[in-house]
Structure 1
Amino acid sequence: MIVMLLSAVDMSAARKRTRSVSSVKQEQKANAQAIKKTSQQLDENAKATSRTLNALNTLGAEIRQQNDSIASINHQIDSIDSAMKHINDSIVTLDGKLVALRDSYARSVTRIKNSQQGSMDKLAFIFSAESFTQAYRRFRYLGEFSKWRKRRNDEIKEVQARLEKQRDELTRLQGVKSGMLTRMNVARNDLEKKQNETSALVAKLKKEGASLKK
């Protein structure tokens, strides 16, 4: 009985040792597979991090170029602002000149009408002269006044045309400036958004890499 009991104990212990060795081998195999998988993930993480860092560097170069473009646009905007100020000053000057021309014209017309002593007809004004010499002078006067009035009308029209042209140019420059500012802000916001997204991705990849190494 004693021999049989000892034999049974030895067999049980042998089976336990066999199971323990098999279990250890399985664990080692599983660990080796897990390590291999983690190593592969580390390699992929390193490659992805490298690619993302390269993309971030490229974005940095684009941002620097964009900043140069923005500086150039700002310089152009300053030039446009200066041109707009010059045009505004010119408009004020032309407006003043136009008012002065119209006032002068109105006073001259009033003066000639008064000199006609209320007559509504040029011929009546001429033939109401007391002498032929006076009639001739009135005729010459009316002719000169007619030429002067035409010149003054032409001058007023020219000033009006210049004024309209300056206002059109001012409107055009305001549109150009608005378009530049819009494009500048859109480009800046787009690049900043890409930079923030890429920086966040780099941080995420580095954190994953540290976790995989651990």
Structure 2
Amino acid sequence: MVLVYLTITRPDIAYAVHVVSQFVVSPTTVHWAAVLRILRYLRGTRFQSILFPSSSALELRAYSNADWAGDPTDRKSTTGFCIFLGDSLISWKSKKQDIVSRSSTEAEYRAMASTTTEIVWLRWLLSDMGIPLSEPTLMYCDNKSVIQIAHNSVFHERTKHIEIDCHFTRHHLQQRTITLPFVSSSLQIADLFTKTLSSKRFRLLIDKLSMLPVNAS
């Protein structure tokens, strides 16, 4: 599907394309209508692009989120994250999780582990390019239970069904690869990659991604 390739430069359609791409094998009229709506949106925003400022801090920050049991067909959750280098958006993802999560905390933790994996790779890439990062990467999360599990070994032992993800994220927290500041749900930019949003909130988050219209030359 051409739309999948387009998400490489258009993070604003990542979630919508993620949803419709699940029905490529046996689409219905509903799915075709959704694709047409995406195409109409693209036609109306064809000059919208990600802004990469010429001067920006060489620091990573990430937003991690999950929509628990959001898929009505199988009740799997959706992982969403976006990562900035300074003010420039450089990585994002919207993907259904492989298994059904039994709680919102579990879904959020699986999303956090995926985000941590991407952060570790980006930090390695920057270091290989001669830009080592001395400070831990901020990974914003809007679930306080998840943050407590990552910091507290007692909470960690109560979540054996997500033990691998717990160990992985907690290891990098202890190694100061990441830190986990809390962010309110209203400021959670990764919402854009996990669920359907109102037009007002969608436009708000698009602005926070530094996606701006540019004039055609």
Counting helix residues as a fraction of each chain, which structure ranks higher?
A: 1
Structure 1 and Structure 2 fold alike (TM over 0.5):
no
**Which TM-score tier does this pair reach, normalised by the shorter chain?**
under 0.3
Counting strand residues as a fraction of each chain, which structure ranks higher?
A: 2
Greater relative contact order, per chain length (Cα 8 Å cut-off, separation 6+): 1
Compute the TM-score of the two structures, normalised by the length of structure 1.
0.16
